[in-house]
Chains A and B, each alone.
Chain A
């Protein structure tokens, strides 16, 4: 191109026209001999090792690369259905769960899924002491009764246990393969296990797809498991491209570069609604957006005062967030609104600025104070956290709080959040367990309350502690609902959190993509997707 001396001196227009002509010629589609689907997605993944990973992206990927003992139906969490375990029984006292593995089940490399693999996967999950390891806390032991029978013993009766087992952290990996690549389930696995790098690039599971490479923050590639023991999925290859910006996802979807966009904003969806090329799925998400107010005075400062936390809950303009995020819902508490017995929008708090100001004055801050709000700087599932943070800032300004915003890169911010060093923070939460028990994470004794908000058991009355204990073990549905109702009422009064919005999810896909089903646990099941001719 540079060889042509005319181009050098003539106007830019010639150059532009030339280039655009070239592009028109070039833009013809390339031949495809395999079925490929490209997913545009804002990646949040720390690892693809199921014992380490515990993020929105990994949930979606693990759904198709690994399998759990039991699972939910494809569209909801209404019942527990078999997967690797074809049947199970629960002992009289509710402590021992015995699973019979499906004899047909096989890993991608052809090895049969055996009891030994289950023991290895559960023990490794516990012993690597990573983010999801806490899920194994109720488990006392996992034993292989015979080649296809596993017995799991719990420390106490736990009605939610099967629902918890559907979590992708309980994925069953091929013990032999993981061991051969540095993995171990021994007690010192936290130091000794070295399989994460291997599992970040490929999967050792029994699902319909195999992980075929991950370039963090760039793309994840899945290839079809040709020997899958269940029904074969449609696509030969799934490319999950990291596109953090919703605006870019939209352009890529409309131009056909991607087939499915997971993180559009409500505003974009309104504009896309008339398009012939794009279909839209709208539904309520599982993500509860909330504020955290650290109860440790050294970390939280004035925010550690329960009165201040209450004032914050009354100061938030809940209606405003509903206007901001079309299709969203105001949650009553940190218990996800989709769970049985959760306080929904009818029981949610309403803004009451006078009450908020009174509470602040009662706490000794009639003139307010200055505080820093930390949050991860990202757009997640179409919700720009920075937009909400600015609204929070404006809401709290009305009761005299001067909020300084401190957005952080997501990994950095996560570190502070998990270490409990954030005094006042904005985060979102999707249930680890699709069971009311998930809410206990937000009460003293729970992970989020204890580790992240430093709200511990010695800070609450014994009645509340008794209620929390009962919530864990109560099996009678009516009594259980009653307990959770009381706990939610308590949380609205005294919690260290201020939940304010559960946004809608809006997924858009090319009209030729079929089989899209959204699930509260894993998001979209990629193996159900197909393309019409």
Chain B
């Protein structure tokens, strides 16, 4: 309880974390309750009401087929955010496993893994992802697969560092001296110790995953054209940059989500930073 109240105290000193959390929570509510919140069906076309700027009937205006932008942005959250989440979850699991094995096994395994991650870092994430989606064919699933393939390395490196650190703790040395086996150590002590930091890192990384996913989708390598996915919606802006309402709302939706995670990340860093006490 003492910890919690101290945490709360610090949180109040860092309003941006609070703001970030509120925004993220709001989007989670949208993801869950989109059908209740959206005034219209996001796919419903009303050609006679096309290209209307924001007004009383269509709060955020309509697009080139007369679909309600607000409803589309709200439903879009149900595509973009889960896609980002899936990428992060799979990244975390794969990266964590590879990193843990490398860190635990050490030696040649470790060396090989580290060199491989370095190589992957040399490749431009989005272009490599484009190459993979181009080879697999464009759709949501393949965009997610592509992002998983190109983004696991950070997680592997992080986990490896944590495991190596944990291996040298007194607790593990003591367990070893008592005859604990490798497998036992790996599963009972090392892995659990590395889980929390990796999860924290992953949750802060969702924003980046979403930016990349929206980018792929913007390029036409994600869901199909009628999908209310945010990146896809923004891409019509290239043809309709005069009709700003069509692409600005989904654009700000992505930006607000990513910004919220950056707020949280910054705030957490500040809270853990000893200088912020002064």
Contact = CB atoms under 8 A, between A and B. Distances in A.
A and B touch in the complex (CB under 8 A): yes
Interface in A404-431: 404-407
Nearest to A267: B51
B167 interface: no
A379 interface: yes
Contacts, number: 48
Interface residues on B, range: 10 to 19
B134 to A, nearest CB: 10
Contact of B239 (A320, A324, A384): A384
A188 B220 CA distance: 42
Identify the interface centre among A271, A389, A390: most chain B CB within 10 Å of its CB.
A390
A394 interface: yes
A245 B242 CA distance: 12
B238 A320 contact: no
B225 A407 contact: yes
Given A246-B239, A247-B238, A407-B220, A320 B47 contact: yes
B47 A386 contact: no
Given A377-B220, A404-B224, A405-B225, A391 B239 contact: no
Interface string B239-261: 11110000000000000000000
Contacts of A404: 224
B226 interface: yes
Given A323-B47, A323-B48, A406 B65 contact: no
A407 B238 CA distance: 16
Contacts of A379: 239
Contacts of B64: 384, 387
A269 to B, nearest CB: 13
A403 to B, nearest CB: 9
Contacts of A267: 51
A387 B241 contact: no
A74 interface: no
Contacts of B47: 320, 323-324, 391
Given A393-B226, A405-B224, A405-B225, A387 B238 contact: no
Interface in A253-277: 267-268, 271
Contacts of B224: 404-407
A406 B223 CA distance: 10
A353 to B, nearest CB: 15
Interface in B6-43: 43
B61 to A, nearest CB: 14
Interface in B206-231: 220, 224-226
Interface of B: 43, 45, 47-48, 50-51, 64-65, 220, 224-226, 238-242
Given A247-B238, A323-B50, A407-B225, 11 more contacts: A247-B240, A271-B242, A323-B48, A379-B239, A384-B64, A384-B239, A390-B65, A394-B65, A405-B224, A405-B225, A406-B224
The 3 A-B residue pairs whose C-beta atoms are closest, nearest first, are A390-B226, A323-B47, A405-B224
